[in-house]
Amino acid sequence: MDSRKQRVLEALIDDYIATAEPVGSRTLARKYGLGVSSATIRNEMADLEELGYLEQPHTSAGRMPSDKGYRYYVDEIMRPTRLNARDRERIRHAYHVRVRELHWFIHQTARLVSELTLYPSMVVAPPLAQALLVDLSFVPLGSGTVLMVLRTSTGMVENQTLAVPDEFDADKLWALAWDFTQEFRGVSLDELKNRILDPLQGDINRYRELWQLAFKWVTGRDGDDDKVSLAGPLNILNYPEFRDIEKVRRVLGFLETKTAVELVSRYFSDGVQVVIGAESSLDDIQDCSLVTATYRLHGSVVGHLLVLGPKRMQYNRVTSIVEAVSEELSRALHG
């Protein structure tokens, strides 16, 4: 792979990304200043194909990048672009608000990323199972309902209104929450699940039912509702590779069922990762690429951020965006 081959590959991928059409030698010679004739390029292309970087949909068509070609492009050729001032500003100011709710951050981030990239984007919240319980409190709302508020070490504040069997006054509830917190502070929700619910003694006994409700609620929080925020799914309809309704169904279905959560935990390591086509080994998104990044809370990786698009994705722009946003998000969560 000499440097001219690289330049040919780069030009071809750039063109294919822009047009979604197989690229021929003539086009390449004309539009990109490669300084050689189309015949020479033809030879180079034949070589690149033999090496596995390009493929041909059929004999007399131009060539398009293979997964391996994209991989080489992403790893070796592509240089990160600097985002324009407008986008940088947008990212910088995205989190300047009073709201401190983790869900809000997640949601906001997904929207921001999908609007900047024009691809669908998902943000995965810190997995609750690994979070440690910080405290639990109850807020009496009257008429037999109570608001339970759970705080965890990942900064999540989850809450839910429940119907409770008896009326409780504020003091009783306060005492109960206190006891609960004392009992379980610092325990991970995952581990909590395996705790046997001690038969309660003494004073506490009267609150058994509420205690049990709380326990059940706290440990039952891993239904992945709300843990993932999806934005801009319809963006994929703008790309010609999704003209086929079956593909749309697969991809949107994939996004909707949030299989991505599981997937993303596989590309867990820090930093920006690119997954191209079949590399994900997920049938539904064989024709897609993903760009993922992690974000941090107090220095440790707690969640992921993900962009899904056609393989013909603007990798350099997307990776830049994803990197900038994940950094800004980590910074915002820290403060």
19, 43, 161, 205: which one binds a copy of itself (CB under 8 A): 161
**Binding track, positions 118-157, relative to a copy of itself; x by CB under 8 A:** -------------------x-x-x---x-x-x-x-----x
Closer Cβ to DNA, 38 or 188, answer by number: 38
Residues whose CB is less than 8 angstroms from the CB of residue 126 and which lie 6 or more positions away in sequence, other chains included? 102, 154, 155, 156, 297, 302, 303
Tokens found for residue 10: 């780069």
Residue bearing tokens 């440990």? 219
Tokens found for residue 149: 């508020």
Residue bearing tokens 């409780």? 168
CB 77 within 8 A of CB 10: yes
Choose the contact partner of 1 out of a copy of itself, DNA, none; CB within 5 to 8 A by kind: none
* 237 near a copy of itself, rule: CB under 8 A: yes
Strands ordered across the beta sheet of 288-297: 228-231, 121-124, 300-310, 288-297, 273-276
- Which range touches DNA (CB under 7 A), out of 17-25, 189-197, 285-293, 302-310? 17-25
59, 84, 143, 201: which one binds DNA (CB under 7 A): 59
Closer Cβ to a copy of itself, 12 or 177, answer by number: 177
Closer Cβ to a copy of itself, 29 or 150, answer by number: 150
Note the helical H segments in 52-98: 67-72, 85-93
d(CA 45, CA 38): 10
Contact residues: a copy of itself, CB under 8 A: 98-101, 104, 137, 139, 141, 145, 147, 149, 151, 157, 159-163, 213, 233-234, 237, 242-243, 245, 248-249, 252-253, 256
Residues that bind DNA (CB under 7 A): 22-27, 36-40, 42-43, 45-46, 49, 56, 58-63
